[in-house]
């Protein structure tokens, strides 16, 4: 709460012969610094990944990013399709959506604090149930309990073994879009 500063008595000049000629005025000053939390310049998760014949070989790729958060933070992910999807209808015995996993790994300053979780992509559309489902907020997303200011080592990983679903995948190009968000988490 801000209060005006004022003395409770009057000071006189030393040559006036009156006292007091000095007043000690104590002015308490307080300030705070709000937390800063974002992706470092040039350090936001970005890129694309293409794997031919992923149904036979599987897939594995990491997207590195760097946080710039002066306190605890939360990172969250949303999947556009809940799996890798190809357009069109699937004939009987075939599928147009392939499952995969998303791993989120966060590293705090000095690497002493980390947070890691993995969810199936089908739990990442809005309304599903992954522990780091986005968008991020002060209470939603994978929480890193310490500051991470320009610390390397954080990443989002996508992976899947060779496809062995009950239905074969139709020929096509499969894709998904992951959206990563970040929030301070006091």
- The answer to whether 11 and 23 have CB atoms below 8 angstroms apart is yes
Q: pLDDT digit string (tens) for 116-130?
A: 999 999 999 877 789
- The answer to whether 59 and 160 have CB atoms below 8 angstroms apart is yes
pLDDT bucket at 10, cuts 50 / 70 / 90:
low
Instruction: Give CA separation, 105 vs 15, 142, 145, 168, in Å.
Output: 72, 9, 13, 32
Q: How many helices (H) and strands (E) in the chain? A: 1, 12
pTM over 0.95: no
Q: pLDDT digit string (tens) for 73-122?
A: 999 999 999 999 999 888 999 999 999 999 999 999 998 899 999 999 99
At residue 104, the 3 state secondary structure works out as strand
Report the C-alpha gap between 182 and 89 in whole angstroms.
36
Token code pair at residue 55: 């149904």
Report the C-alpha gap between 87 and 75 in whole angstroms.
30
pLDDT of the residue at 128: 72
pLDDT of the residue at 126: 76
């Amino acid at each position: 709460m801000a209060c005006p500063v004022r003395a409770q008595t009057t000071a006189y000049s030393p040559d006036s012969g009156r006292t007091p000629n000095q007043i000690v005025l104590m002015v308490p000053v307080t300030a705070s610094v709000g937390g800063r939390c974002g992706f470092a310049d040039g350090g936001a998760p970005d890129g694309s990944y293409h794997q031919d014949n992923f149904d036979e070989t599987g897939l594995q790729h990491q997207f590195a990013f760097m946080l710039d958060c002066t306190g605890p933070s939360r990172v969250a992910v949303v999947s556009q399709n809940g799996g890798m999807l190809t357009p069109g209808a699937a004939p009987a015995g075939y599928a147009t959506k392939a499952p995969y996993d998303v791993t989120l790994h966060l590293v705090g300053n000095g690497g002493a604090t980390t947070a890691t979780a993995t969810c199936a992509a089908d739990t990442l559309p809005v309304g599903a149930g992954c522990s780091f489902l986005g968008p991020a907020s002060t209470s939603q997303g994978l929480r890193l309990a310490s500051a991470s200011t320009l610390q390397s080592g954080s990443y989002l990983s996508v992976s899947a073994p060779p496809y062995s679903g009950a239905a074969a995948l139709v020929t096509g190009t499969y894709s998904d879009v992951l959206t990563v968000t970040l929030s301070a988490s006091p």
